[in-house]
Amino acid sequence: MSYPRALLAAVLILIAAVPTVAADDSLVIDSPMPPPGWALMEQKLLKANGDFAELFADRYIDDRGYLLHTIRWGTLDGPDDAIESFYNWTLAHALGGPDSILNLFKKALDGHYAQYGEMRTVQTKIASNGAYHREFIAQSDWFHTGEGMRGIMGQGLGDPTDAKLRSRMTRFAKMYMNDDPAAPNYDPQHKLIKSLWTGSDGPMLHKATTYDWVGDLTPGRFNLLHGPKGRSQLVDMASVYDKMLAHCAEYLDSVGDHPLNMASTGLGLRAYALTGEDKYRDWVIEYVDAWKRRTAEAGGMIPTNVGLDGQIGGEYNGQWWKGTYGWNFTIFDGEIEQIAHRNTYTAGSWPGFSNAYLLTGDTSYIDTLRKQLDLIYAQKKVENGKELFPTMYGDPRGYKYKGKPEWYQFRENAFPSARAMETYMWSMDRKDLRGVPVQGWLAYIEGKDPGYPERALQAEFGQLRRKVQSIHEDDTTPDTRLADYLMGFSSLQTDALTNLMLGGYLTGNIWTLHSRLRYFDPVKRRSGVPEGVAALVENLAEDSVTVTLVNVNQTQARPVIVQAGGYGEHEFLSAIVDGKPVEINGPTVNVHLEPGTGSRIVFKMKRYTNRPTLAFPWDRGLVAKN
């Protein structure tokens, strides 16, 4: 039987329009692509992070996992700083770094809990039986607690089946859900956390002391970053201890809820993403919803004190802008002997509202943050051609409160553009970029700086090289190092990799990974790109992401699983590969890269439509056998 030529031509065109799909439903990439410079640098940087982690651990961690330094309680140089030295190691591993990074982190974390559990204080009552009970800080504020927990908050990205992690995260979350009698931090009736100071010992329902913030005097000579001469010289702590106490002389008000406490929702989010148990999700939503209502009561301003009666400003006669670390926290810092302005309203609220958004896809949480930014932006002044924004609100120090608070402490570059950038990444609403300079990574994904990826990766190598040099030149010993000393050269290089590989953006002290993509190695059964695979996110839109995937290995094929979102919270609808469409309709897709090949892929997607999970794709039954 013969067929008309026109029909045959139509069939051939139709066949050519469909991308190659392997028997296991993988999308096959077979277009040759010489290894781009950015791809080679990504692969080298992932490995270099592992090399650096081993160098740092060999010098500064002992066989027990103890950090080699002098331990002491305090928020200036205490337990949160010690483990913060490893804050992004789990992220570096989850991106595709060597398994040694994760193994060393877990060793350091176990050692940290043991090391600081053994610590004892005399004048500082909250740490008299150790800094940690049941592996959680006895009492501290979430600005510092959050700093110390960034590493474990990211551990589930690459280690979701670890039984110890699941036990810890569920135990920690229950301390903030009224589900742990020994740690009654949460009031379910008023839906509030009872104090700025909380932890495994419960809330502090009285004023703090300067010792709570600074800790006991530790005899010895140290490279004090908070001392008068900084890192370069040894200083006898006894000679500056009074100054250290004076640093926190006005940090004593503690009772009542504070937006910093919203950072605790990271525990509930992880517990839910690890277990799928709704009670953790429900608590996050309940608590953040209460903060959403309070913010509306304050006219769109995020209040920095909520009384034990549930009323905004309840500990200050209705003045919701008051409180330690509040809108009106203008103090005299006795250490530096000058007025200081320390308002931290964004440090817990942005993580908290975004965690609720990640769990629900409800844009009203982002609307709350946008309203707060709008109120600040509306106060903009222009003086001598410079834009000035306020950083504080309330009754300025030195003036008697007359019943009407005001904005004050206007500064150049004070608009929280990093927070506005985060808000834009969640909303993809161009209005949220108001006040955000179009430069760096933003300029790149806007198509205005094509050379940015290679420059950014080169800069990361430069940072790593300088940190290696710092280790080789370091002449300190454990008896002259405090916890914060090592933070200056312990971190791995993940910022550019997170931007470029995942389309993710992380700022601040307390992380939840919001990203467009993540990758998994189906052969090694682990998180991250397989060895030889590199990824470059080139464009982000509300309903799509454009990424180039390349296999720099010229002799071996590489399978990779691409996931929509850091927690599978997005959904792929379809993909366009070299101009050819393919349907997906799921949170993951298998991609098979032939040796020496690569392609630009445009994924069409719905964002924040799935409930987040940390389970690997193969444990969710989403991935065909490769």
Per-residue pLDDT, averaged over 421-445, amounts to 96
Q: Where are the domains of the chain?
A: 12-35+516-620
Q: Is the pLDDT of residue 286 over 50?
A: yes
| Of 80, 87, 82, the residue nearest 70 (C-alpha) | 82
pLDDT tier, 617 (very low <50, low <70, confident <90, very high otherwise): very high
Q: Examine the pLDDT at 254 and tell me if it is beyond 90.
A: yes
What pLDDT does residue 52 have?
A: 98
* Interval 243-270 mean pLDDT: 97
Task: Work out the pLDDT band at 224, boundaries 50, 70, 90.
Answer: confident
What tens digit of pLDDT does each residue of 67-81 get? Answer: 999 999 999 899 999
| Closest listed residue to residue 504, CA positions, set 584, 437, 576, 421 | 421
Please report which helix (H) or strand (E) contains residue 48, including its range.
helix 37-60
pLDDT at 27 over 80: yes
Check residue 165 and give its pLDDT: 98
| CATH 3.20.20.105 for the 12-35+516-620 domain, yes or no | no
Share of the chain above pLDDT 90, in %: 88
Stretch 138-158: mean pLDDT:
97
- Among 50-54, 325-329, 394-398, the minimum mean pLDDT is found in 394-398
Q: Report the C-alpha gap between 230 and 250 in whole angstroms.
A: 23
Q: In the predicted model, is pLDDT for residue 6 greater than 60?
A: no
pLDDT value at position 404? 86
Contact 575, 581 (CB under 8 A): yes
Please give the angle made by the CA atoms of 281, 285 and 287, to the nearest 5 degrees: 115
Exposure pattern of 226-254 as b/e (b: 16+ CB <10 Å)? Answer: bbeeeeeeebebeebbebbbbbbebbebb
Q: Please, are residues 346 and 417 in contact by the beta-carbon 8 Å criterion?
A: no
Can you tell me the mean pLDDT for 284-310?
A: 98
Residue 184 has pLDDT above 50, yes or no: yes
* Positive or negative: CA dihedral 430, 435, 438, 439: negative
Give the per-residue pLDDT at 456.
98
DSSP 171-215: HHHHTTTT--TT---EETTTTEE-BSSBSTT----S---HHHHH-
Query: Residue 244's Cα: distance from chain center in Å?
Result: 29
Tens of pLDDT, residue by residue over 475-534, are: 999 999 999 999 888 889 999 999 999 999 987 776 899 999 999 999 999 999 999 999
Using the predicted structure, report yes or no on whether residue 20 has a pLDDT greater than 80: no
- For residue 510, the model assigns a pLDDT of 67
Q: Could you tell me which of 493, 496, 425, 413 has the C-alpha nearest to residue 454?
A: 496
Region 581-591: mean pLDDT is 96
Flag whether pLDDT at 11 surpasses 70: no
- Is the pLDDT assigned to residue 94 strictly greater than 90? yes
What pLDDT is stored for residue 621 in this prediction? 82
Note the pLDDT of residue 9.
41
Amino acid in the structure at residue 258: H
